[in-house]
């Protein structure tokens, strides 16, 4: 079948082979599926080469994740109905956080409901489907991303993908007006993804167990940092500054000294590139230029739309549809809104405010803020466990998420696959740390019970003591138990 497809269209043959490979990998390991989804989110240009079809790698990976996640949840529901869940299957990462789930569902629901007042309902339907897809991917990642090794694999995947995307962009000469694009079509999206790689790279470096892996992570971070500078993205610089600030501020003691040292070295290298290389000087000139390239006009129009419809906005995806109605004497770049393909707001938060009003801002903010807050709580919990590797990993996850959210100031990214995956990873990290804390407390209680038993009864009553003290906490995570002596 693949040979026949290749004869008809080589693109279909390649896509078919890739689909089969990804399907085999998914059924072999859910971790592979999550990592594949994250990896292909760095290669947007593949879709441009193959055409915007349903067989693009990111769509295949997302669809497979959703299907397998739903099957897993259905299996759990069946087990619950016939005698309880099977041991060894922890609850999804989002199961204990109804507020976050409610905010996410509310955001999607507001977007779908906006068809009732939007000018272009087809645009609402198209983007609502996209939001639903991203929400289902978020849920699917929470079903499978449960262990520390999986979190570490995701961090390493993002760093490797960032490096390969940057190098591939250099080899292919993919750039726009002297701005590096990597394997993306927009320099701001590229810079945002590189900031995510840098944050996750710091997490992987702190969780690595060998010096060679740590050095490799540092080299990868440097390459991704070069990508941010070469993209000449103001949003990328703001994002990387916020991510670095969080990494330093959230560190403690000698750990903070090491993070400050690594950050200082990278900042010094970035300044040297900006001041001493032709590419760097070109980037510095654009970054310091006061010209907003029309972004200020787009933002002003979004504010006017929000003022007219402060509660529910103009409808999902309808900002560019009605933007020309808000052209004023202050609008300099009218061509951005009256062309055949009018621009979006280039600011996620202003676009949500203009399209979905206060309802959209509150639900989106509650969802995103809840995920980030859970990630930060996970870092604090890892400190109580005195697990330096988990602390570093969680800090990198939160830093990457904060960086991507900061880059959204200059980018319409509410549908970005990588952003939704990072939000799901924050929730998953918190769930992992919470299980570890409950497990540690349960084992401590069990140890106290055993120590208080008479010596002759220890062998006979050890199993009962463990069951009484820790059955509820250990039921979902038997793989976390120490090996029997």
Determine the pLDDT at residue 425: 96
Determine the pLDDT at residue 112: 95
Determine the pLDDT at residue 483: 41
Distance set, CA 122 to CA 273, 316, 416 (Å): 47, 10, 20
pLDDT at position 85 over 50: no
User: Whole-number mean pLDDT of the chain?
Assistant: 83
Extract the tokens encoding 331. Answer: 């609008």
Average pLDDT for 187-195: 94
Extract the tokens encoding 59. Answer: 């769509």
Determine the pLDDT at residue 86: 45
pLDDT at position 157 over 80: yes
Residue 309 DSSP class: S
Q: Are 69 and 143 in contact (CB under 8 A)?
A: yes
Query: Ranked by mean pLDDT, which of 49-53, 64-68, 257-261, 372-376 comes out on top?
Result: 372-376
Determine the pLDDT at residue 290: 54
Tell me which of 19-23, 251-255, 298-302, 363-367 is least confident. Answer: 19-23
**How does pLDDT run across 315-349, given as a tens digit for each residue?**
999 999 998 888 887 878 787 777 767 788 889 99
More confident residue, 190 or 338: 190
| Cα four-point dihedral sign 343, 344, 345, 347 | negative
Q: Are 109 and 309 in contact (CB under 8 A)?
A: no
The rounded percent of the chain whose pLDDT value lies above 70 is 81
**How does pLDDT run across 239-293, given as a tens digit for each residue?**
988 998 888 888 777 776 776 776 777 777 777 766 767 666 666 666 666 555 6
Average pLDDT for 470-485: 45
User: In angstroms, rounded to a whole number, what is the distance separating the alpha carbons of residues 373 and 231?
Assistant: 30
**How does pLDDT run across 372-391, given as a tens digit for each residue?**
999 999 999 999 988 888 99
Burial class for 198, CB neighbours closer than 10 Å (0-12, 13-18, 19+):
buried
């Amino acid at each position: 079948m693949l040979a026949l497809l290749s004869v008809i269209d080589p693109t279909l043959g390649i896509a078919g082979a890739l689909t089969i490979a990804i399907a085999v990998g998914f059924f072999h390991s859910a971790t592979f599926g999550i990592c594949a989804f994250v990896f292909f989110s760095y290669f947007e240009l593949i879709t441009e080469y193959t055409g915007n079809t349903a067989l693009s790698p990111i769509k295949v990976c997302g669809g497979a994740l959703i299907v397998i996640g739903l099957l897993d949840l259905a299996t759990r529901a069946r087990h619950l109905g016939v005698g309880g869940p099977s041991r060894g299957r922890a609850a999804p990462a989002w199961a204990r956080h109804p507020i976050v789930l409610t905010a996410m569902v509310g955001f999607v629901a507001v977007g779908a409901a906006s068809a009732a007042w939007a000018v272009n309902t087809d645009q609402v339907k198209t983007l609502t489907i996209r939001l639903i897809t991203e929400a289902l991917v978020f849920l699917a990642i929470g079903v499978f991303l449960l262990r520390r090794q999986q979190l570490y694999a995701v961090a390493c995947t993002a760093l490797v993908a960032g490096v390969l995307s940057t190098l591939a962009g250099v080899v292919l000469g993919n750039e726009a007006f002297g701005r590096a694009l990597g394997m993306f079509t927009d320099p701001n999206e590229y810079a945002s993804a590189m900031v995510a790689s840098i944050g996750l790279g710091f997490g992987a470096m702190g969780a690595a167990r060998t010096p060679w892996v740590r050095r490799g992570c540092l080299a990868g971070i440097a390459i991704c940092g070069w990508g941010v500078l070469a993209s000449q993205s103001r949003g990328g610089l703001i994002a990387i500054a916020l991510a670095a600030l969080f990494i330093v501020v959230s560190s403690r003691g000698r750990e903070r000294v090491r993070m400050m040292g690594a950050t200082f070295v990278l900042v010094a290298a970035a300044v040297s590139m900006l001041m001493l290389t032709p590419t760097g000087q070109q980037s510095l000139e654009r970054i310091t230029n006061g010209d907003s390239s029309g972004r200020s006009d787009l933002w002003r129009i979004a504010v006017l739309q929000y003022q007219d419809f402060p509660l529910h906005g103009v409808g999902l995806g309808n900002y560019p549809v009605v933007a020309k109605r808000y052209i004023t004497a202050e609008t300099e770049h009218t061509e951005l809104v009256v062309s055949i393909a009018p621009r979006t707001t280039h600011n996620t938060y202003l676009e949500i405010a203009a399209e979905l009003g206060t309802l959209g801002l509150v639900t989106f903010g509650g969802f995103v803020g809840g995920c980030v807050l859970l990630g930060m709580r996970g870092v604090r919990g890892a400190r109580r466990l005195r697990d330096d590797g988990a602390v570093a990993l969680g800090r990198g996850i939160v830093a990457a998420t904060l960086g991507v959210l900061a880059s959204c100031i200059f980018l319409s990214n509410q549908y970005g696959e990588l952003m939704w995956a990072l939000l799901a990873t924050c929730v998953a990290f918190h769930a992992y740390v919470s299980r570890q804390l409950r497990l540690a407390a349960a084992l401590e209680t069990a140890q106290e019970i055993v120590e208080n038993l008479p010596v002759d009864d220890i062998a006979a009553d050890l199993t009962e003591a463990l069951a009484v003290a820790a059955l509820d906490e250990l039921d979902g995570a038997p793989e976390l138990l120490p090996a029997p002596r």
